[in-house]
Amino acid sequence: MDRIIVNGGTPLNGQIPISGAKNACLTLMPAALLSEEPLTLTNAPRLSDIRTMTELLESLGCEVAALQDGRVLVIGTEKISNHTADYDIVRKMRASILVLGPMLARDGHAVVSLPGGCAIGARPVDIHLSGLEALGADLDLRDGYVHAKAPKGLIGATYELPFASVGATENLLMAATLAKGTTVLKNVAREPEIVDLAECLRAMGAQIEGEGTPTMTVEGVDRLHGATHQVVTDRIELGTYMIAPVITGGEVELLGGRRDLVGAFSDKLEAAGAVITETPNGLVVSRKNGIKPVDVTTEVHPGFPTDLQAQMMALLCFADGTSVLEEKIFENRFMHAPELMRMGADIEVHGGHATVNGVKSLKGAPVMATDLRASISLILAGLAAEGETVVSRVYHLDRGYEHVVRKLSACGAKIERISE
Ligand code: EPZ
């Protein structure tokens, strides 16, 4: 397994290009199942999760062409030749569940392995399933698979999500585009990735209103046609790299960054001492004076994103005071805390709350990545720590961050990747 070695203490200065959003691409790709005409996605990120989704779609009979070094994906689904998403692929990536709604809507049947949990939580899919049942699907759970049928097609309905689940919103939105009649989805997720999916589906001929608000209305159509869609900028990669100049004391321009994608996060980062300036090319971020403590509670969008909680904790380890982070989205998303404590951080975790007492400095140490966002938080801490930090199990990182070493080295970071 590869490891990443960081020697801390260098202020970062320069530019970092922000890639297309992993979490948008992972729902845009299965949308190709809805049409027999090709869907072309531009600005696609080169990540292992994208390769896993490609493998899954190909196992269903899609043809996926990765052009321009993977930045452009052309996905053709003339017909779905296999309607079963196998456990051995699904267990690698939970977003695989997003083929369920489109397959059901397109052909009236699908068999998809239940994704199972992951390091950060049990990750149930009950909302996905109850929503599809509301649209007329017959679901039978057995042998760890969802056996879904809608022999006469899905029927438009009104369904209120018990929680604004991102994935459930995406599955139900895609399914509703080909349902007969009108679907009203209430208490939906409002993340930019949902807006991006709605814009792509509309380009394919779907009739959708209300994306980005708590209620979406979909008029079902008989078929969708092909389209070309640019994947939205990755707001989580953006937020992650906005922290880099603040934690190291430099100044970095995030190319392609837009403040509207990271509103709540930017407000908290400014409260912690960041200076954020919008430029024609993106966002320039630096630090005013020291790092100040701030309290953070993760919420559904437009609140503070759970996917930036670990990275913010790394920053707050250096604050001149005490910060409290409350994780309200996932039940076990503080696994980066013990690793940060190996570096000298002063953190107390009690259930969904973590209290971070800032310290003057952290010391580099061997640490272990436990999940995607934890892995990058350890690298951020290593950039500011004294001495050498060695992060192991960096395969987690490859799921969601394209060319981390290249992007950070370009700003002066002393960072390298070694293959074991
Ligand atoms: C998406 O996961 C993202 N993944 C996650 O990013 C992100 O953390 C999450 O949304 C929240 O923003 C992708 O888009 C591929 P949810 P998803 O359904 O759709 C509970 C990353 O680091 N829930 O909004 O799985 C669930 O247990 C990843 O890039 C149910 O109870 O998130 C969780 O506690 C991590 N029943 C909460 O809702 C359901 O049917 C949020 O889940 C569905 C979800």
Separation of alpha carbons 388 and 379, rounded Å? 11
Q: Which domain holds residue 271?
A: 3-18+233-418
Q: Are residues 273 and 170 in the same domain?
A: no
Q: Are residues 209 and 240 in the same domain?
A: no
* Residue having the nearest C-alpha atom to atom 8 of ligand 1: 307
Q: In the prediction, which pLDDT does 420 show?
A: 75
Using the mean position of ligand 1's atoms as its centre, give its distance from the Cα of residue 307 in Å: 10
Q: How far is CA 303 from CA 195, 327, 410, in A?
A: 16, 12, 31
Q: Is residue 372 predicted with pLDDT exceeding 90?
A: yes
Residue with tokens 């018990």: 162
Mean pLDDT of 365-372: 94
Peptide bond preceding 302: is omega within 30 degrees of 0, i.e. cis? yes
Q: In the prediction, which pLDDT does 235 show?
A: 98
Q: Are residues 272 and 385 in the same domain?
A: yes
Q: Is residue 8 predicted with pLDDT exceeding 90?
A: yes
10 Å Cβ neighbour count for 317? 28
Q: Are residues 204 and 279 in the same domain?
A: no
- Of the candidates 161, 332, 358, 172, the residue with the CA atom closest to the CA atom of residue 247: 358
Mean pLDDT of 233-249: 98
pLDDT digits (tens, 9 = 90+) for 51-72: 999 999 999 999 999 999 999 9
Q: Are residues 146 and 263 in the same domain?
A: no
DSSP codes, 281-301: TEEEEEESSSPPP--EEB-ST
Q: Are residues 183 and 254 in the same domain?
A: no
Q: In the prediction, which pLDDT does 119 show?
A: 77
Using the mean position of ligand 1's atoms as its centre, give its distance from the Cα of residue 123 in Å: 7
Rg, Å, the chain Cα set: 21
Question: Ligand 1 pocket: which residues have CB below 6 Å?
Answer: 23, 26, 94-95, 121-128, 163, 165-168, 306-307, 329-330, 372-373, 400
Instruction: Count up the domains in the chain and report the number.
Output: 2
Q: Is residue 197 predicted with pLDDT exceeding 90?
A: yes
10 Å Cβ neighbour count for 289? 8
Q: Are residues 109 and 59 in the same domain?
A: yes
Mutate to test the pocket of ligand 1, among 163, 169, 301, 332 (most ligand atoms within 8 A of CB): 163
Three-state DSSP class for 106?
Answer: helix
Q: How far is CA 340 from CA 26, 94, 133, 190, 313, in A?
A: 30, 27, 44, 32, 9
pLDDT digits (tens, 9 = 90+) for 103-161: 999 999 999 999 877 778 878 899 999 999 999 999 999 999 999 999 899 999 999 99
Q: Are residues 395 and 304 in the same domain?
A: yes
Q: In the prediction, which pLDDT does 268 show?
A: 98
* Residue having the nearest C-alpha atom to atom 38 of ligand 1: 165
Q: Are residues 31 and 158 in the same domain?
A: yes
Confidence grade of residue 216 (pLDDT, cut at 50, 70, 90): very high
What CATH number does the domain containing 311 carry?
A: 3.65.10.10
Confidence grade of residue 246 (pLDDT, cut at 50, 70, 90): very high
Instruction: Please check whether residue 386 is in contact with residue 9, taking contact to mean a CB–CB distance below 8 angstroms.
Output: yes
Q: In the prediction, which pLDDT does 116 show?
A: 74
Q: Are residues 182 and 126 in the same domain?
A: yes
Using the mean position of ligand 1's atoms as its centre, give its distance from the Cα of residue 250 in Å: 33
Q: Are residues 159 and 226 in the same domain?
A: yes
Q: In the prediction, which pLDDT does 110 show?
A: 98
Work out the mean pLDDT of the chain and round it to a whole number. Answer: 96
Q: Give the percent of the chain with pLDDT over 90.
A: 95
* Residue having the nearest C-alpha atom to atom 37 of ligand 1: 329
The alpha carbon torsion through 390, 391, 392, 394 (nearest 10 deg) reads -140
Q: Are residues 237 and 273 in the same domain?
A: yes
Separation of alpha carbons 166 and 175, rounded Å? 14
Helix, strand, coil in percent for the chain, rounding step 5: 35, 30, 35
Peptide bond preceding 192: is omega within 30 degrees of 0, i.e. cis? no
The alpha carbon torsion through 118, 121, 122, 126 (nearest 10 deg) reads -110
Q: Is residue 196 predicted with pLDDT exceeding 80?
A: yes
Using the mean position of ligand 1's atoms as its centre, give its distance from the Cα of residue 10 in Å: 35
Main-chain dihedrals φ then ψ at residue 55, nearest 5 degrees: -60, -40
Active-site residue list: 118
Q: In the prediction, which pLDDT does 215 show?
A: 98
Main-chain dihedrals φ then ψ at residue 218, nearest 5 degrees: -125, 125
**335 or 122, which is more confident?**
335
Q: Are strands 251-255 and 13-17 parallel, antiparallel or unpaired?
A: parallel
Q: Is residue 381 predicted with pLDDT exceeding 80?
A: yes
Using the mean position of ligand 1's atoms as its centre, give its distance from the Cα of residue 166 in Å: 6
Of 212, 230, 248, which residue is a domain's last? 230
Confidence grade of residue 1 (pLDDT, cut at 50, 70, 90): confident
Of 230, 252, 269, which residue is a domain's last? 230
Separation of alpha carbons 296 and 1, rounded Å? 34
Instruction: Please check whether residue 42 is in contact with residue 229, taking contact to mean a CB–CB distance below 8 angstroms.
Output: yes
Q: Which atom of ligand 1 is nearest to the CA of 23?
A: 14
Task: Please say whether the dihedral angle defined by the alpha carbons of residues 187, 193, 197 and 200, taken in this order, is positive or negative.
Answer: positive
DSSP codes, 153-200: --B--EEE-SS--HHHHHHHHHHHTTSBSEEEEES----HHHHHHHHH
Of 230, 261, 290, which residue is a domain's last? 230
* Residue having the nearest C-alpha atom to atom 42 of ligand 1: 165
- Biggest distance spanned by C-alpha atoms of the chain: 65
Three-state DSSP class for 350?
Answer: strand
- Of the candidates 313, 387, 373, 374, the residue with the CA atom closest to the CA atom of residue 345: 313
